[in-house]
Structure 1
Amino acid sequence: MRNLVKLYLSKEDFEVDEARGGHEAIQLTRQHAYDLLVLDIMLPDIDGWEVCSAIRQTQQMPILMLTARNDIQDRVRGLNLGADDYLIKPFAPEELVARIKALLRREKGKVEGGHNLHLAFEDLLIDSESREVKVKGILVELTAKEFDILYMVAGQPKRVFTREILLDNIWDSEDFRDLRTIDTHVKNVREKLRRSGLSYNPIKTVWGVGYKFNTQE
């Protein structure tokens, strides 16, 4: 499987490193600055859940989980741990390449929404150029999708975004249509900003519709 993935990605001019297990993957991410990680769940030493959680403590590159586990709870668990996309085996290599390219485009900040590079609010700074979020000057570690959601709603603070709009603009996959994905990511953004000292909830729920940006309670 690793050989197949590397073959197709190399044909697309990607530079690819392989890890034979979870511990090796964690070590490689600490030694090199990667643009993206393709991660299986069933590994010979520790599972992909543990790898994802460990990497998310220090790294924010997009993570695409590639696995035979198709249960919705597995998907939600992966997203909660910081995965950005989820591809089920068996898969078409062309789809894997397309999803990787889509994640890398998103990582460059090509998200529909506000056009300002720097969005400043009370105690909250969102910088789309560096893709950094700071609360009271302290950096908050968000995943790629979490950043995209926050930046999108903050860029148009008077607009209410439905879950469908957020899903269509931030996720490229047509077959990944679980709207609960949005709720999971919004919950993660709120919790991370709260733990970082933000005194108000920046993403307000508009019941029966979706979400909008909120600078104060």
Structure 2
Amino acid sequence: MNESPSRILVVDDEPSITEFVSYALKKEGFYTDVVDNGEDALALAMQNAYDLFVLDIMLPGMDGYELCRRLRAKTTAPVLFLSARDTELDKVVGLEIGGDDYLAKPFGVRELIARVRALLRRGNGGDFPGANHAITASGITLDEDAHTASGENGEIDLTPREFELLASLMKSAGKVVSREDLLRDAWGWEYLTETKTVDTHIKRLRDKIGAAGYDPGLVETVRGYGYRFKQ
């Protein structure tokens, strides 16, 4: 029997961040709701059983700290704070009022997903619905926990950025992934202006795949749009 994906509520009043976070979570298979204020977040928390809350601290009206206090009266689901405020005092306050983790802005996709997975595993006493730590396509297996890519010819030696690009492509194997989405996945929301760097890193990724004895043509160029990993 297939379990339903974990359900996450994202609360932030910056559209660029909510778009980035919800995109990253949905791509990992999580069900995600988004609101931009604490009052709406509380209303949704009363209506739905969430597995995790991702809260900005600087919210209009009710701030993230107060929202966390009120959520704690209703649920034991983990709370991950997001904030541009990165002092030790901010972190201590967030954790003392019931938060479970604290992620400073700006952050990348992998760090966000790693924190989310860790909190969900902790909350569920092990694994969780929607977890997907290994991806296999065209004879290559990518292990997201170990950060390795390998197959019958052995391991492919990748930099962290090349690994993130390959992960993004393999998760959508057989489908075209735009340069903008690759930037979002591998660099984070703060790097969404320059897409030419994607082409440079894709060339290096292909070289690494070829050097390891695999077909560099597994990463195909789709002219005018982006790239596709052969299924």
Could you state the TM-score of these two structures normalised by the residue count of structure 1? 0.50
Could you state the TM-score of these two structures normalised by the residue count of structure 2? 0.47
Whose strand proportion is higher, 1 or 2?
A: 2
